[in-house]
């Protein structure tokens, strides 16, 4: 019986995140690490789910918006275990911080093996970005690919969102 490298790598991160109160809003399945680290990027993705996001100081005092789209989102349906696909859209008016783009990508990718509902994903992303970036306004949209003829678009708003352009859902 050997040491599970994934669990060994992620254990300190889970402990720090739990101590900081970052795991309190997450479902238990979202806090588990992969059972093995065998592919490029697995460790980075596992760590991104629990470590604080890399962020940079806002370079301007101007009022402006940042628009991010992650069109390759995947997670597992909590009921069936089948994959759900979609686009995660984030709009925010930065406060003191802006998110580093690779850190954002890795964090969103950390949901790929998690059994989690559409609603839970959008709210978890919004809560984490709101907590860590402290923006003036934030909107997170989970625009999911149709399954069984049903289209789902989840929108979570926090703070002042008046500056955001209306979102047009993907037709798929």
Could you report the per-residue pLDDT of 116-125, keeping only the tens digit for each?
A: 999 999 999 9
Q: Residues 110, 53: contact at Cβ < 8 Å?
A: no
Share of the chain above pLDDT 70, in %: 70
Residue 169 lies in a domain: no
Distance CA 62, CA 87 (A): 28
Identify which of 67, 140, 49 has the alpha carbon closest to the alpha carbon of residue 103. 49
Residue 167 lies in a domain: no
Residue 166 lies in a domain: no
Residue 160 annotated as catalytic: no
Written in H, E and C, the secondary structure of 74-115 is EEECCCCCCEEEEEEEEEEECCCEEECHHHHHHHHHCCCCCE
Distance CA 146, CA 78 (A): 16
Per-residue pLDDT at 22 exceeds 90: no
The confidence score (pLDDT) of residue 45 equals 66
Distance CA 39, CA 8 (A): 16
Q: Is the dihedral of CA 133, 23, 11, 42 positive or negative?
A: negative
- State pLDDT tens for residues 63-99: 999 999 999 999 999 999 999 999 999 999 999 999 9
Residue 31 lies in a domain: yes
Average pLDDT, the chain: 82
Catalytic residue among 4, 27, 42, 77: 77
Residue 148 lies in a domain: yes
Q: Can you give the residue range of the structural domain that contains 110?
A: 5-159
Catalytic residue among 13, 84, 91, 143: 84
- State pLDDT tens for residues 48-67: 566 789 999 999 999 999 99
Residue 24 lies in a domain: yes
Length of the chain: 172
Residue 93 annotated as catalytic: no
CA dihedral 17, 72, 105, 3 (to 10 degrees): 50
114: CATH: 3.30.1130.10
Residue 117 lies in a domain: yes
**Sheet containing strand 137-147, strands side by side:** 66-76, 83-93, 137-147, 150-159
Domain count, the chain: 1
* pTM for the full predicted model: 0.73
């Amino acid at each position: 019986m050997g040491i599970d490298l994934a669990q060994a790598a992620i254990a300190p991160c889970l402990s720090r995140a739990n101590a900081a109160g970052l795991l309190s809003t997450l479902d238990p399945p979202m806090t588990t690490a992969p059972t093995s680290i065998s592919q490029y990027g697995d460790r980075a993705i596992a760590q991104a789910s629990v470590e604080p996001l890399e962020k940079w100081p806002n370079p301007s005092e101007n009022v402006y918006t940042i628009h991010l789209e992650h069109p390759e989102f995947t997670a597992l349906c909590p009921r069936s275990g089948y994959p759900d696909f979609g686009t995660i859209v984030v709009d925010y008016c930065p406060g003191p911080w802006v998110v580093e783009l690779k850190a954002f990508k890795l964090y969103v990718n950390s949901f790929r093996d998690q059994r989690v509902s559409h609603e839970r994903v959008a709210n978890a992303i919004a809560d984490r970005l709101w907590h860590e970036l402290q923006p003036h306004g934030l909107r997170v949209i989970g625009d999911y690919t149709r399954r069984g003829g049903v289209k789902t678009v989840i929108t979570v708003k926090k703070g002042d969102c008046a500056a955001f352009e209306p979102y047009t859902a993907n037709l798929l």
